Structure 1
Amino acid sequence: MPPVSPPTLTVNHADQTTIRVAGAWLVHALSEGRRLHDLQTELTNKGQRDDIHWDLSQISALDHVGAQILWRAWGKKKPQHLVLQPVHEGLFQRVAEASQVNLVSAKRPLFYSIMQLGDIVLGFFEHLYGFSILLGQLMIDLAGFIRHPLRGPWKELSANLYRMGAQALGITALVGILIGIVLSYLSAQQLLTFGGDLFIVNILGMSIIRELGPLLAAILVAGRSGSAITAQLGVMRVTEELDAMLVMGIPHGSRLILPKVLALAIAMPLLVIWTDVMALIGGMISAQALLGMSPEFFVYKLPDAVPLLNYWIGLGKGVAFGILIALIACHYGLRIKPNTESLGHGTTNSVVIAITVVIIADAIFAIIFSKVGY
């Protein structure tokens, strides 16, 4: 193979400024030493002047990289005075077309923001439509389960109860105790100022049993079990197990969706009670340390400070939150496309939307029962 001549630039000042480009303008020839840096520096100084005549007839070889360097030096347009070999015309034409495509794609339409808003609104209604179909199918499957309980997915239900309920006791207990200690500590600081030490039972009882207990348990379950449900269904979509189930005549609703929704509807109230107890224990520990209030007195005052109806409101919230978390997780899990990028994106959206919906539902409960239980 004959040696490749190096790329060169020669300036001729005889009668008019002419730059002769010669040699092999190939990527491996340009990358040797500081050759590319020196050529780019000289091109930057002289490239975009209109009075310069360019002579490219002495180029022995030219590839896309060399043509791109010259094209950028010309300001992404052909100079007025250019001598070019016919064989290189097509290469520069393709470079010019590629520059125009990049230029057009960088511009946004005039009503881009309105189009983006419309896309979000259409996506919301699409999710709402899919969620409605999922909820309707759940009602049908639940009716079938009630009519023929012996054919129900008892094994799947028990397995989901263990994974979503029993295995979540540790994290809910830890968070509940810490929240109870923090809330009791902050409340005790203020009550000591006004001499209202006894009211710490009212503050802890109402805030934990009615609001914080169900909300904390729901947020933890949404992050833990909701993401697991979405990831499980998403992996089944990626590995085509969902399609295989349909081929074998196994419906998704009664074998996948119904057990998860029922499991969370049963497990969430129990986790709410568990979280309430742990948070109250943490509050008692902090109250005894800061206010000298014995745990016996705390337990004695609790039924008078918190009416029984608040317990039922908290348990009702737990059931509603569990059903919402399971439905949202299943909805996003079934919408995942058979690729890993969609799996991660869908799992993230599932957790974020589930937590957001739980907080909105808690606000709705607070408005509906604002005059109940006090």
Structure 2
Amino acid sequence: MRIENAPTLTIEHPEAGTEQSVVARGVWQVHALSKRGALKSINKTLAGLADKPSLAWDLSEVASLDHIGAQMFWSAWGKKRPGKLTLDPKQEELFARIEEASQIDLPRVRTSPFNWIIKLGAGVLSFFEHMKAVVVLIGQVVQDIGRFIRHPMSGPWREISANIYHSGFQALGITALVGFLIGIVLSYLSAQQLRMFGGDIYLVNILGMAIIRELGPLLAAILVAGRSGSSITAQLGVMRVTEELDAMLVMGISHGYRLIMPKVLALAIAMPLLVVWTDSMALLGGMLAAKFELNLSLRYFIQKLPSAVPFVNYMIGLGKGIVFGMLIAMTACHFGLRIKPNTESLGRLTTTSVVTAITVVIMANAVFAIVFSSVGFD
């Protein structure tokens, strides 16, 4: 079925001794070119005519022409007017603009051998800018917590409760699954090595110390950083894009007291509970694996665990949970408040927030390992 005023190209063969001519007819506008694959066929025809500079072009019968159609002709002509061209007077201005624009020389970007110094300096300045903002954020959170302690009845209890639910309760499933699987893997790998030396009974010591002191808090923190940290950053970023943060300031509502402090307190409360939960699931997986691999009974495992792992290790794990939770919340809030009102910044800083939070958690875990290196091994 032929479309009315469809763009067409006709190659006319005149009498002998004269050159061929290409006559364009129809509507050469974007809405006509996009119908029923017309653009593909027109491009194919123009590509076949590109290597014939002696052709005469007649565009005077074109009903209407926009910039898209004119640019197609211009590209087929090799970005210059052909020797023989017939235009409608209305089309002359359009092609004149295209010809003028094609003659503009874009400035070349010159690379300097000292660009790496500039990038290094910019990175150092950006790092100190982030550090300054983090110090200001920590001071603001401390002030807001002091205000909350002085006036608890007017505090953001609903926001704290909602963040505990979203960051803590809704993370029980994924932390249980990952903890259980890690416990099974660690138990199987340790059992294979201990069987070689006849030290099967020491599997309880290895699993207890590794999970309760190190792996449990670290696994829970990494999962929460990826799950809840990204959610917090994206939430604040969307509020920036939709100008809700500006609206809160206009109404006299503090960002720190209503948005940041509830998230910090909620993760400080939820993370130790998630650490206990993850430890329990990991130990359960380790016990089941030990039962099938080394035939260690569950009763023996449970009875041996308190003596194999000194009580101070449980407290170190809970302390890590509190610190990790606060670090994740403040990192997520820091990057969330720095998001600019555009979607590109939202996606980029959300990713940066997760990576930074996980890095900060691992660094904090290393500090704990150094500080408490001689504690809990009696």
What TM-score results when the alignment is normalised by the length of structure 2? Answer: 0.79
Give CA-to-partner distance per residue, 1:259-291, whole Å, 9 cap, x none.
221121122122212221221122112112221
Other structure's SS at 2:252 match: coil
Cα distance, 1:278–1:74 mapped onto 2, change above 3 Å: same
Change (3 A) 1:11 1:367: farther
In 1, distance between residues paired with 2:8 and 2:183? 76
- Match of 1:285, SS state, is helix
Structure 1, unmatched stretches of 5+, are none
**Number of equivalences:** 368
Q: For 1:181-196, what aligned pairs fall within 5 Å after superposition?
A: 181-196=184-199
* 1:16-53 CA distance string (max 9 Å, x none): x7443334264378889999878766654553456x26
Asked whether 1:305 is paired with 2:281, we answer no
1:228 aligns with 231
2:45 counterpart of 1:72: no
Call closer, same or farther: CA 1:132–1:18 in 2, change over 3 Å: farther
Query: How much does 1:59 deviate?
Result: 4.8
Find 2:283's aligned residue among 280, 285, 295: 280
Any gaps of 5 or more consecutive residues in structure 2? none
Q: Which residue of 2 aligns with 1:139?
A: 142
Partner in structure 1 of residue 167 of structure 2: 164
2:10 to 8, 11, 14: 8
Measure, in 1, the Cα distance between the counterparts of 2:39 and 2:265.
68
SS at match of 2:25: strand
CA distance in 2, matches of 1:38, 1:224: 49
State the Cα distance separating 1:317 from its structure 2 match.
1.6
Are residues 1:325 and 2:328 paired? yes
Q: Is the counterpart of residue 268 in structure 1 residue 291 in structure 2?
A: no
SS where residue 21 of structure 1 aligns?
A: strand
* Match among 155, 160, 166 for residue 152 of structure 1: 155
Offset of residue 250 of structure 1:
2.2
1:359 aligns to 2:376 (yes or no): no
Query: For residues 33 and 238 of structure 1, what CA distance do their matches in structure 2 show?
Result: 39
Identity value in percent? 59
Residue type of the alignment partner of 1:22: V
- For 1:63, the equivalent position in structure 2 comes to 65
Aligned equivalents of 1:270 and 1:27: distance in 2?
67
Written as runs of structure 1 = structure 2, the 5 A alignment for 1:106-125 is 110=111, 124-125=127-128
Distance 1:3 1:68, change over 3 A: closer
Moved more, 68-77 or 324-333: 68-77
Stretch moving more, 134-143 or 205-214: 134-143
Shift of 1:62: 6.0
Which amino acid in structure 2 is aligned with residue 63 of structure 1?
L
